[in-house]
Amino acid sequence: MARQDLPTIINHILAETGVSKITYIGHSEGTTQFFMGASLNPDYFTERVNLFVALAPVASTAHIPTPWIRKSADHIEELELALMAANIYNLFAPMPRAIALQEFFCTLPYMEDVCMNMMKILHHEGVDSPAAGETFLSHEPSGQSWRTFVYYAQQIKSGRVALYDYGKRDNNRIYGTDEPPLVPYQNFAVPTALFSGSLDRLASPEDVAWTKEQIGDNVVFAKEYELDHFSFVIAKDMSYFTNDVMNVINQYN
C-alpha cells in the first residue's frame, strides 16, 4: 500500500486536478502508509505533497498498552499459519458474511469479553458521538487483509519498527537479511502535523512521541487532545479539525 497504492492514488488526484502538490490527510492505517511510503520513496512524496496531516498517527505499535492486544500479538505466528492453511486472506469478509460471523462468535460465552473490548476500542462513550459512532459502526467490519494485523503485531512483539517479516528464508530472498530492515525514517522529509489522543489505546502517546523524535524537524505542528483513536472522525467535539487542522492546512495552501 505504501509503495504502490498510495502513489497510484496521488498520481490520479494530480492528473485529475492539475495541481502540482496536494495536502495528504490520513487517519490510523492511512498514516502508516504515508510514513512508510515517504521513508522508502522520499523523492516521490516530497515532490508531490506539501503537508502531511496525521490523525491518530501510527508509525509504530511497539508500545500499545492494551493487554488483550499485546497477548494476541504473542501468538501471531500461529494465527498467521492457521489463516494461510485455511486460505483466508481477508480477515473480515465482505459485510453480510462478516456480520453473521460476528453475531455467532460474540454469542459464545468465552468471546463476549473480546467483543466488548473491541467495541470499547471502536467507540469511546465519553468523547465520541453516539450518532456518528452508529454510522461508523454500520460500515464495520468491511474487510481487511490479515497481513495488516500481522504487521502491527510483529512490531508489538519484537519492538522493532521494520518492514514486513516474512520469516528467515523469505526475508533473505526479499531483503537479503535474516531480519527485515528497519523503516528508514531518516529519509522522511515531508512537513508533518501530528494530531494525537491522550485516550488513544492504539496510537499510544509513547508511540507518538517516538514518531515525533524519528521525523524530527519535519514536524511543523504537534498537539495531543483528550480523544481516543477513532474520536478523530466521530468525536462529539470536532473543533480540533475546524480550528487546528484547517489552520495548519491554510498555512501550506
Helix, strand, coil in percent for the chain, rounding step 5: 55, 15, 35
Q: Which of 42, 73, 228 is CA-nearest to residue 160?
A: 73
Buried b / exposed e over 100-127, threshold 16 CB at 10 Å, is eebeeeeeeeeeeeeeeebeebbbbeeb
For the record, the C-alpha cell of 188 comes out as 522522511
pLDDT of residue 89: 67
Splitting the chain (253 residues) into consecutive groups of 10 residues, what average pLDDT does each group show? 93 97 96 97 97 97 87 81 70 56 60 61 79 76 76 93 95 97 97 97 95 97 96 95 98 96
pLDDT of residue 211: 97
Cβ atoms of 128 and 228 closer than 8 Å: yes
pLDDT of residue 171: 96
pLDDT of residue 244: 98
Q: Which CATH architecture has domain 5-59+184-252?
A: 3-Layer(aba) Sandwich (3.40)
Strand partners, 26: 54
- Which ranges in the chain are annotated with CATH 3.40.50.1820? 5-59+184-252
| Burial of 156 (C-beta count, 10 Å sphere; 0-12/13-18/19+) | buried
pLDDT of residue 62: 92
| Distances 224 to 67, 128, 203, 232, 246 between C-alpha atoms, Å | 23, 16, 11, 11, 16
- Please give the model's pTM, rounded to 2 decimal places: 0.85
Cβ atoms of 143 and 98 closer than 8 Å: yes
Residues 40, 216: Cα–Cα separation, whole Å: 17
pLDDT of residue 122: 67
pLDDT of residue 108: 62
